[in-house]
Chain A
Amino acid sequence: MRTLEFQGKKIELDEDGYLTNLNDWTKELADTLAKEDSLDLTDAHWEVINFLRSYYQQYQIAPMIKILVKEIKKTMGADKGNTKYLYQLFPDGPAKQACRYAGLPKPTGCV
């Protein structure tokens, strides 16, 4: 557990760096979290993050990676619609790293 001072607010993160309170999320916070990992969020990253957030709003869970891949293929072109591309964007794995920047809880279970 740690607390991040951000724009005059105290933001609580769990041991793995996920937001404790999902309502704390803002775009600027996502940028800051990524910068901590020396990552600059580009439009490509934001495509993924925005999709994760809208899926989460509907289903209260992140989409399976295949659904994400298909969506990226649709919006960004066939050459980008694959797992490899997503791992290039999020080296720690799209399911975990992208969810963290998107302010989603960490997936649990045998994953």
Chain B
Amino acid sequence: MAEEKAPDTKHHSGADREPNEIIQEYIKFEKIKYYPVELTGDIEVPKLTPDALVMVKPQLLTSKEVLARLGYPENGLRPDWKEVFLAKMDEILKKYRSVKLFLDICVRCGACTDKCHYYLGTGDPLNMPVARQELMRRVYRRYFTVQGRLFGSKFVNGEELSEELLAMWYTYFYQCSECRRCSVFCPYGIDTAEITMAAREILNSVGLVQKYLHEIIDKAQVIGNNLGMQQNAIVNALEFVQDELIETTGVEDIRIPIDEEGADVLFVTPSADFFASPHIESLYGYAKVFHQAGISWTMSTHASEGGNFGLFIHNYEHMKKINKRIWDAARELKVKRVIGGECGHMWRVLSSYSNTMFGPFDYLDPKYPRPQHICEFTLDLIKRGALKIDKSANEEFTVTMHDSCQVARGLEMGGTEFGQFEIPRGVIKGVCDKFVDMPEHTIRERTFCCGAGQGLLGDDMLATRVKGAMPRMQAYHYVKKNNGVNFLALICAICKAQMSKMLPTYGFPMEEVGGIHQLVGRAIVLGAKEGI
């Protein structure tokens, strides 16, 4: 364990080789086969399988143009990477006292070991949260404690920086989806997501920049949304949905307003909602809710993205730039309130970070001084009888709900304790007769990640995604078998994309996945208003 490592010359002979050349060999991208397990309905702790997923690494971003725009090194791993690495880590430790605290206080009790979906799915010991964090703690003890600096790695069970260690970081900090399930079980409340975010920021600074995540951050900043949809494409998509709504409901004045100044509500949602299936189905639901409530609303081509991938890399500046579009649009369009659609990390950033970035929101209606979630908006209307609901439209479904990690372990919803669990369930029960929860240890604050969160949704990570989805698939299988569940309701675009791929992989029909507002949209009876 504690042995001092000599430079690895076995595979990389020739001390004259550039660090970038060495690291490229370590983190070569290869497509690997992936197999789903057979489902039983139980989540069992697997046998240890060292290196189970050591070969799965995300692709590196290579576009020099994009790297330059994001402020990262353009030529892969920098020759002086060790200095840059330590300087960045030092900066983070000083800036975020939480990270330093979390590195200091772990007592290795092991409570987190079997809580991670990637560990449960792979058995790879480095996917135990404590072991993953240990990759950083070993560096921390060696370079950032007095004993480590004076007496070296051996004395403090630390590790010298090497390309090999860096490759381990790049591998395993991209096999964590920052879902924070392990943190719920940690007696010290260590937020392991913060460690992963810090590790990713350090990796970026030395030139190991993951492609999927950063391409999207770039598009969100340059074009305005994660998909890279230009204004005319957004307008075309939204007009198409509006035409379809009119055609299918026969209601002539149902609208999806775009960039309308003076509307009461600015509605922001992930751009996937204008493009992908089943995401788009929820858009029909949102429009019907606003129409029937008689509340004027608008979408914005400037704030055409709710999702905020800046959160995933601990980079406050990126996160702030992406979030700024929403508040600029809110002011420009002179709205009274901001409502967010079905998106996990959008909700986390909107509800937990917005106020310190761009608050106070004193220009909003004092009755709605903070962003609202579409579920709290809809539930309030249902409770007040403002929406006419015909539950029989959803008669064919027995519904269960997957709590999205970013919402479930975010701050709150609706300003009420546990609102993030109760409100979405309240909406489902308001529009469907049959609702069954999955086993207790897989929902609410103990929910499992869908397996693709926080930048792991790319096709390069398919093996990890299949393995990481296992706990959720077992739980879904359980309620399907015992309660005849046939619809998995979601409130996050990443969950929707991941689950509509994973259900067929595990042998379920793809159509069993959808958004909560897809169900709402089906059940709303448009026409005479019941009064608000």
Q: Output the nearest chain B residue to A93 by Cβ-Cβ distance.
A: B501
B55 to chain A, nearest CB (A): 15
Partner of A110, one of B229, B272, B280, B459: B272
Q: Answer whether A111 and B275 are a contact pair too, CB < 8 Å, given A15-B29, A15-B460.
A: yes
**Restricting to B189-223, which residues have a CB under 8 Å from any CB of A?**
212, 215-216, 219
A1 to B62, CA, bound (A): 10
A64 partner, pick from B225, B228, B280, B460, beta carbons under 8 A: B280
CB <8 Å contact, B274 and A64? yes
Which residues of chain B have C-beta atoms less than 8 A from A16's C-beta? 459-460
Question: In chain B, what residue has the closest Cβ to A87?
Answer: B510
Given A64-B237, A65-B277, A109-B230 contact (CB < 8 Å): no
Q: How large is the interface on A (under 10, 10 to 19, 20 to 34, 35 or more residues)?
A: 20 to 34
Q: How far is the CB of B75 from chain A (nearest CB, A)?
A: 16
Question: Which residues of A have CB within 8 Å of B237?
Answer: 63-64, 67
Point out which of B219, B228, B233, B244 has the most chain A C-beta atoms below 10 A from its C-beta. B233
Could you tell me which residues of chain A, from 52 to 99, have a CB within 8 Å of some CB in chain B?
58-61, 63-67, 70, 83, 95-96
Count chain B CB atoms within 10 A of each CB in A58, A61, A64, A65 and give the residue with the most.
A64
Are B233 and A61 in contact (CB-based, < 8 A)? yes
The reply on B497 being an interface residue by CB < 8 A is yes
Cβ of B226 and Cβ of A108 under 8 Å apart? yes
Contact A109 B277 (CB under 8 A): no
Whether B277 and A108, one on each chain, are in contact in the complex, defined by CB atoms closer than 8 angstroms, is: no
Q: A60 — which chain B residues lie within 8 A by C-beta?
A: 228, 230, 233
Question: Are A59 and B227 in contact (CB-based, < 8 A)?
Answer: no
B492 CB contacts on chain A under 8 angstroms: 110
Asked if B236 lies at the interface with its beta carbon under 8 angstroms from chain A, I say: yes
A111-B233 CB under 8 A given contacts A61-B227, A64-B280, A66-B277:
no
Q: What's the nearest-Cβ distance from chain A to residue B224, in Å?
A: 12
Is there contact, CB below 8 Å, between B236 and A109? no
**What's the nearest-Cβ distance from chain B to residue A108, in Å?**
5
A108 touches B212 (CB 8 A): yes
> Does B270 sit at the interface, judged by CB under 8 A?
yes
Q: For residues 229 through 265 of chain B, which have their beta carbon under 8 Å from a beta carbon of chain A? A: 229-230, 232-233, 236-237, 240-241, 244
Q: Contact: B497 with A111, CB < 8 Å?
A: yes
Query: With an 8 A cutoff between CB atoms, is B414 at the interface?
Result: no
Contact flags (1/0) for A97-111 with B, using CB distance below 8 Å?
Answer: 000000000011111
Find B232's partner among A59, A70, A83, A107 (CB 8 Å cutoff).
A59
Enumerate chain A residues within 8 angstroms of B219, measured Cβ to Cβ.
Answer: 108-109
Q: How many angstroms from the CA of A11 to the CA of B502 in the assembled complex?
A: 33
Q: A83 — nearest CB in chain B belongs to which residue?
A: B277
* Contact residue among B230, B493, B497 (Cβ-Cβ distance under 8 Å from A59): B230
Is B37 at the interface (CB under 8 A from chain A)? no
B59 at the binding interface (Cβ < 8 Å): yes
| Chain B 320-363 residues near chain A, CB threshold 8 A | 343
Q: B271 within 8 Å of A by Cβ?
A: yes
A58 to B237 Cα, complex, angstroms: 13
Q: Is the CB–CB distance between B216 and A108 below 8 Å?
A: yes
Known contacts A66-B240, A67-B240: A111-B230 contact under CB 8 Å: no
**B457 on the interface (CB 8 Å rule)?**
yes
Q: What residue of chain A has the Cβ atom nearest to residue B501's Cβ?
A: A93
Whether the pair B270, A109 counts as a contact (CB closer than 8 A) is yes
Q: Which residues of A contact B272 (CB under 8 A)?
A: 109-111
Find out whether the CB atom of A110 lies under 8 angstroms from the CB atom of B226: yes
How far apart are A75's CB and chain B's nearest CB, in angstroms?
Answer: 17
Whether B532 is near chain A, meaning CB under 8 Å from some CB there, is no
Partner of A111, one of B59, B276, B460: B276
Complex Cα spacing A59 to B230, Å = 7
Which residues from A are CB-within-8-Å of B232?
58-59
The reply to whether B244 and A109 form a contact with Cβ atoms under 8 Å apart is no
The answer to whether the Cβ of B496 comes within 8 Å of any Cβ in the partner chain is yes
Q: How far is the CA of A73 from the CA of B275 in the complex (A)?
A: 18
User: Which residue of B has the minimal Cβ distance to A66?
Assistant: B280
Q: Taking the complex as formed, is B129 at the interface, i.e. its CB lies under 8 A from any CB of chain A?
A: no
Chain B residues near A110 (CB, 8 Å)?
226, 270, 272, 276, 279, 307, 343, 457, 492-494, 496-497
A109 pairs with B460, CB closer than 8 A: no
Q: Hey, which chain B residues are within 8 Å of A61, CB to CB?
A: 227-230, 233, 275
A107 with B236, Cβ < 8 A, contacts A60-B230, A61-B227 known: no
The docked-state distance in angstroms from the alpha carbon of A58 to that of B307 is 26
In the assembled complex, the CB of B483 is this many whole angstroms from the nearest CB of chain A, namely 27
Complex CA–CA separation, A110 to B228 (angstroms): 12
Chain A's closest residue to B452 (CB) is A110
Extra contacts, 17 of them, besides A60-B228, A61-B275 (Cβ < 8 A), are A15-B29, A16-B459, A59-B230, A59-B236, A60-B233, A61-B228, A61-B233, A64-B275, A65-B280, A66-B240, A67-B237, A107-B275, A108-B226, A110-B272, A110-B493, A110-B497, A111-B272
Can you list 11 pairs linking A and B with CB atoms under 8 Å apart? A59-B230, A64-B274, A70-B240, A107-B227, A107-B276, A108-B226, A108-B228, A109-B271, A110-B226, A111-B276, A111-B497
Chain A to chain B: the 10 pairs with minimum beta-carbon distance, closest first? A109-B226, A110-B493, A111-B276, A59-B233, A109-B227, A110-B272, A64-B275, A110-B494, A61-B233, A111-B272
